């Protein structure tokens, strides 16, 4: 890009949203190759007969949005299909870890997904999947991913740091993880944190050891402010089943003197349905703006703040010469009405329609057939046996509003040596089954909060070892759900009365669909209708079930293939209390 070189494109009649200075003003933008070449009131001296003139028609021009933290497999979309809806909603870059895919398919799966990402217009900034490493602990182990692999992946070009670097592991002195973080920092890469349910002392210990990090697990204003005051960046989450943004934004609404430059936005675990029907970062921005936060500060949270957080601001997150030309054309900033999206100086969305479907991208055969249930599995394996007439048991309790579970106890009847659930008390059976390695590992327990009156639900995605989770009112429907998911290669399913009411196949790793977002959303709606017809009262039943199998970092009582886990005591506990 030499001095006074003729440019490819000049954008005229646009209003630049300058997230560096917090200004909005008229100016022209010149683009050469993939980058912004110059910005000025009149750039006609840079054009020749081949230069394309783009009339912005008085639209505001914003940097593309960047999601600070997302887990792709929770959308149930493959990366190609996800990229389409993300671009339509103005997100031109994401920071993700593909930990679910890595747990199932290992390092090669991650490499394959990044190779697919390199063929797409959306930017994929990779963060090391620390959850994939931690799941190799005592609550489930399949060897994916190990610390040596993480050290190797850290040096990949796409890798910008670590993801979900659990504060408790740092505080407890996990040597391998701390050394990995030190290496990342020496390489100029970021440490993305995970500080759920920490005491003030723990928060201080955490930041003192790690030096620089952020957190997306804040639940209220006090926690938000406490972490922010100690230099911990806070990413406000708007996820399916955990819309913490609504609570957190109240702090900034009340205390307008707080500097928001260390505040970002993320979708974390968002469903395909919410992406299509509710929105993505565009929706998060509207919520922030409607809460009374200055519009330009809201846009900073989705652009330059995130770029600085991810240490990629040399090329992304703002509109300035030398930056990559990822631009949004918006006719109403407050409503975030996005008309056009430009990536690398070329339009990928015009008149709110994509210019390419990217149908030419193929997926490796290794993505398929990853549900491996042990041959010895049968219906009896789902039962909890007891010699008494009654049994006092621990029960996992969910509320649908948070990923945090609670523990209750109840006395249940025993019939023919099998502890019975109690539909009248909203107590179901639940099992976690190894479906990655095909071992005999299975754990059984009880769960409350779904209000299911009949039937069973099951899924091959969760937030830890990617076990097959099944919960239901009777073992027969639970067994049918498991065997059907094995047959179709994974997914979500609702069963009742010995019949499959509805299923959503997830062919890739048992986590992502090979289908379009429209069909995924359609099937999700049919699944939701089916489970609602059985009495379930939760807004996001499958997302809620998924986090019941996260036995670390988010309390309190969870399940995994090894058994029932008391998260904060960090130990397995018996289902039956003697």
DSSP E strands: which ranges in 416-455? 418-419, 427-433, 442-448
- How high is the pLDDT of residue 4? 64
Side by side, the strands of the sheet bearing 123-129 are 65-70, 91-96, 123-129, 159-166, 190-194
Residue 51 is classified by DSSP as P
Would you say 314 and 304 are in contact if contact means Cβ atoms under 8 Å apart?
no
Mean pLDDT per block of 10 residues along the chain (578 residues) reads 76 98 98 97 95 98 98 96 97 96 95 97 97 77 84 97 96 96 98 94 98 95 96 95 91 93 96 96 98 97 98 98 98 98 97 87 95 97 97 96 91 98 98 95 97 98 90 98 98 98 98 97 97 94 91 88 93 95
In 303-370, the DSSP E strands lie at 327-332, 337-343, 346-350, 353-354
Contacts for 473 with CB less than 8 Å, ≥ 6 apart: 421, 423, 428, 429, 452, 453, 454, 455, 456
Q: Per this entry, what is the length of the chain?
A: 578
The beta strands (E) that lie in 34-130 are given as 35-40, 52-55, 60-63, 65-70, 91-96, 123-129
**Across the strands, what pairs with 233?**
214
Strands (E), 86-169: 91-96, 123-129, 159-166
Peptide bond into 145 cis (omega under 30): yes
Q: Does 167 sit behind a cis peptide bond, omega within 30 degrees of 0 on the bond before it?
A: no
Distance CA 537, CA 525 (A): 14
Q: For residue 17, what is the enclosing H or E element?
A: strand 9-18
Q: What confidence score (pLDDT) does residue 242 get?
A: 83
Give the β-pairing of 456-459 and 468-472.
antiparallel
Residue 226: both structure tokens together: 């406490």
**pLDDT score of 2:** 45
Helix, strand or coil for residue 333? coil
3-state SS, residue 143: coil
Residues 341, 334: Cα–Cα separation, whole Å: 17
């Amino acid at each position: 890009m030499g001095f006074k070189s003729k440019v490819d494109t000049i954008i005229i009649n646009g209003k630049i949203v300058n997230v560096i200075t917090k200004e909005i003003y008229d100016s022209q933008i010149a683009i050469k190759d993939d980058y912004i070449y110059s910005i000025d009131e009149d750039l006609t001296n840079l054009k020749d007969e081949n230069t394309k003139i783009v009339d912005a028609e008085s639209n505001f021009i914003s940097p593309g949005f960047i999601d600070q933290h997302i887990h792709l497999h929770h959308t149930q979309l493959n990366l190609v299909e996800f990229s389409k809806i993300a671009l339509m909603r103005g997100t031109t870059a994401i920071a993700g870890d593909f930990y679910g895919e890595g747990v199932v398919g290992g390092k090669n799966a991650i490499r394959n997904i990044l190779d697919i990402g390199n063929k797409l217009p959306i930017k994929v900034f990779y963060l090391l999947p620390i959850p994939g490493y931690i799941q190799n602990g005592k609550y489930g182990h399949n060897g994916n991913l190990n610390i040596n692999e993480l050290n190797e992946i850290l040096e990949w070009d796409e890798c910008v740091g670590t993801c979900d670097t659990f504060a408790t592991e740092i505080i407890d002195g996990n040597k391998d993880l701390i050394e990995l973080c030190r290496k990342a920092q020496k390489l100029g890469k970021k440490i993305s944190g995970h500080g759920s349910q920490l005491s003030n002392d723990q928060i201080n210990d955490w930041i003192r050891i790690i030096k620089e990090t952020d957190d997306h697990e804040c639940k209220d204003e006090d926690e938000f402010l406490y972490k922010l005051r100690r230099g911990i960046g806070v990413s406000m989450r708007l996820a399916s089943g955990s819309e913490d943004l609504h609570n957190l934004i109240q702090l900034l609404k009340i205390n307008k003197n707080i500097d928001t430059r260390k505040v970002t936005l993320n979708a974390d675990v968002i469903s395909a349905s919410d992406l299509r029907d509710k929105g993505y970062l565009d929706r998060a921005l509207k919520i922030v703006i409607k809460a009374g936060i200055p519009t330009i500060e809201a846009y900073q949270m989705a652009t330059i703040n995130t770029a600085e957080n991810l240490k990629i601001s040399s090329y992304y997150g703002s509109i300035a010469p030398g930056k990559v030309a990822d631009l949004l054309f918006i006719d109403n900033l407050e409503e975030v009405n996005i008309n056009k999206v430009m990536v690398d100086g070329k339009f990928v969305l015009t008149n709110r329609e994509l210019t390419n479907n990217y149908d030419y991208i193929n997926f490796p055969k290794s993505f398929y057939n990853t549900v491996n249930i042990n041959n010895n599995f049968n219906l009896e394996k789902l039962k909890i046996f007891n010699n008494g007439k009654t049994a006092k048991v621990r029960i996992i309790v969910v509320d649908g509003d948070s990923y945090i579970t609670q523990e209750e106890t109840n006395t249940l009847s025993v019939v023919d040596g099998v502890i019975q659930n109690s539909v009248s008390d909203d107590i179901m059976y639940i099992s976690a089954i190894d479906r990655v390695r095909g071992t005999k590992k299975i754990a059984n327990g009880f769960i409350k909060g779904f209000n299911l009156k009949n039937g069973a639900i099951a899924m091959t995605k969760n937030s830890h070892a990617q076990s097959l989770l099944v919960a239901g009112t009777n073992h027969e429907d639970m067994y049918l759900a498991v065997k059907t998911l094995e047959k179709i290669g994974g997914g979500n399913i609702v069963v009742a009365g010995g019949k499959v009411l509805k299923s959503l196949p997830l062919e890739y790793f048992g986590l992502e669909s090979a289908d379009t977002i429209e069909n995924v959303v359609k099937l999700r709606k049919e699944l939701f209708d089916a489970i609602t017809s059985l009495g379930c009262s939760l807004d996001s039943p499958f997302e809620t079930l998924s986090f019941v199998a996260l036995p670390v970092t988010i309390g309190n009582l969870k399940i995994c293939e090894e058994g029932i886990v008391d998260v904060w005591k960090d130990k397995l506990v018996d289902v039956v209390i003697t």
